[in-house]
A and B are shown apart, each in its own frame.
Chain A
């Protein structure tokens, strides 16, 4: 299935629909596909690397500078047109120049209108509920702050085109200037799901209740309640690194943290500075339904089934290979049965039990006759 790519140049890759999709919005399946491709054709590795860079550069360089004033100006005029009940656009167009001049002069008023809708956004927000450690890292000027005051989740596109789905009562802050620097920094209070645009040169950092979550391009959820000491980070795809905000700038905080994979979550308590890693309550297969259907076991060693489950959920399963070597089962790995239900059935069949320890599954059993 890779043959067509064997002789591709980096320009061919950069124009290939699947390849571009992978670079711009990677997922576990496409990651797997392109990793396998590079393993099959190792000489294409540098070409792929260059093609990734090319696509990312094109994405960045094809943006155009957006003038913040335009954004507010159009909105203010829109409010005016709506308020005055205008049905005919032509009138308004002719008087645009006048209207625009008035609005620019009174940009504060336009700004007020702009903040009236669901999110409140301000350049000069109150800083009180942010922890001092994260404030050190973000300069307090030029901050954008967005709060979701609605009852529904709201999607925010960051300057790097990463998507944040902010839950009700959640607040994110970031600095436009910061997004063009060495790292992309965001502060979060509340809960949000992040889909981060891949940029290998500029890690994406989320600061929440003293915990830093670092990522290059993946999707994950963070819950950091206001006034709480706890943070929960749940990884949907890819890998992220989490670590406590450093107390002094000399130390490397990352070495004290954890790396989380898909289907793992960490609970961090700021008060006791403790990480608790576990599996998510409902692990999601990292393989496609089609790939899952390839797994069918006829009187197979149970160890093969465990190995397959490891692959499907990207989760380690520990067991005594020798002890279970005579245990044989017939099974498929259906998509609609959860990992834990599957484990229940398997363990019952071989008279074993399992528990989750540090995001790994530990199976204990006895010899089968």
Chain B
């Protein structure tokens, strides 16, 4: 078999998939602009994606903050820099771990949910039925989910940042004998608005990517229950890869050397 032909076919298929996904994302993200805007569908998606994700994101954040505090303390002891624990922990959480972990948890929870929901609607003709009822599925199903996830993710990440820093504070104060008020003051003096802001910008981008992947794979799914299962799996994997890849790109843009 010709290796070039195999590689070429794979590359063309990948580019075609990225192209189709980009067109879908643009169509879905801007479908609401020409109206109508389905407020009820948007609020329902915002509640499910935003508010209902808080418990799992909060749990992840508190344990991440706690484990990070132990690791930073242990590592910085080697060069007597353990007093910098609050500063290192807070900047790590708001810039990287808060947005990253929250996005991965929301991807696992919501991107898969969107793919399964839209996939089930696709294979049972519900999306086709919607078109015949003079309602554009992009406006009713896709746009509210993309908009809600993009807008809610910064709030989720802000909560994850606060809970993650609190998890580190708990370990620092009760296990590592830091003074609680000094710990908070150090963070307050060190952390800048830019640190938090870049994390929130990342959150919005992650939200957009998560919802596009979930909606795209669900909307395009075919072939009954097996197709819905494959769509769900693809949505979660593609979301995770997109989060990690875009995180690197954004970090390299935000960091000043």
A, B assembled together: no
